[in-house]
């Protein structure tokens, strides 16, 4: 009786541990995103070489150069988005990176969580959408670009902006999503502020 009861008590712990280990299933997804970033680096270098040949080998129109440069900026912003998803997602949902104190540690990584990551991704998507919208407006004089397409691209961009503002508002209503860091002596910054305010308001 005692042995069977002990097994029945340990079973939920084992099931919970297996579920906890299942987070590593996501690890290949982030490795795949690293491979996607390599593809974007290759595309960036190809576009850069094309721009150099075009700029030094002739007199291309200014709009053509501007569109290529905007394409390069677009690739960089998508690459930044991939970095945020890879590092932030792995840190939040898979495992700690254990790079505390590293001189190259990104500032945003110290307080990243699911809410902060969603807001940052939304802002990055707005930046990418802005680049695409600017490319459309530059090409607006071409017959292939219709007023209907311009309208829908603008509405989609505004939808991204409203969605990012809503996410930021929700994050602020939920407390900002920033953890209270300990200062090393067991007192949080909020507690230090309260103590300082009480000391200076007392008679």
Q: What is the pLDDT of residues 11-24, one digit of tens each?
A: 777 777 788 888 88
Q: Give percent of the chain with pLDDT exceeding 90.
A: 13
Q: What letter does residue 144 receive in the DSSP assignment?
A: T
Q: Nearest-CA neighbor of 108 among 94, 88, 126? A: 88
- Say yes or no to pLDDT of 88 above 80: yes
What pLDDT score was predicted for residue 6?
62
List C-alpha distances in Å: 56 to 42, 51, 62, 162: 21, 8, 13, 42
- Hey, how many other C-beta atoms are within 10 angstroms of the C-beta on 115? 19
Q: Nearest-CA neighbor of 113 among 93, 92, 95, 83? A: 92
Confidence at 132, pLDDT banded by 50, 70, 90: confident
What pLDDT score was predicted for residue 37?
93
- pTM over cut 0.85: no
13 CA to centre of own chain = 34
What pLDDT score was predicted for residue 48?
93
């Amino acid at each position: 009786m005692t042995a069977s009861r002990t097994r029945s008590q340990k079973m939920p712990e084992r099931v919970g541990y297996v579920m906890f280990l299942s987070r590593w299933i996501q690890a290949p997804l982030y490795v795949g995103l690293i491979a996607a970033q390599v593809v974007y680096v290759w595309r960036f270098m190809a576009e850069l070489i094309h721009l150099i040949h075009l700029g030094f080998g002739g007199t291309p129109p200014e709009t053509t150069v501007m569109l290529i440069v905007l394409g390069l900026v677009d690739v960089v912003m998508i690459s930044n988005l991939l970095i945020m998803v890879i590092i932030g997602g792995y840190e939040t949902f898979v495992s700690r990176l254990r790079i505390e104190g590293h001189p190259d540690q990104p500032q945003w990584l110290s307080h990243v969580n699911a809410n902060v990551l969603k807001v940052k991704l939304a802002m990055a998507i707005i930046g990418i959408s802005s680049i695409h919208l600017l490319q459309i407006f530059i090409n607006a004089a071409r017959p292939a670009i219709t007023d209907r397409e311009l309208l829908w691209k603008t509405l989609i961009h505004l939808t991204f902006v409203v969605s990012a503002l809503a996410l930021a508002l929700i994050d602020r209503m939920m407390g900002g999503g920033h953890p209270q860091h300990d200062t090393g002596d067991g007192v949080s910054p909020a507690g230090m502020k309260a103590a300082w305010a009480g000391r200076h308001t007392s008679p």
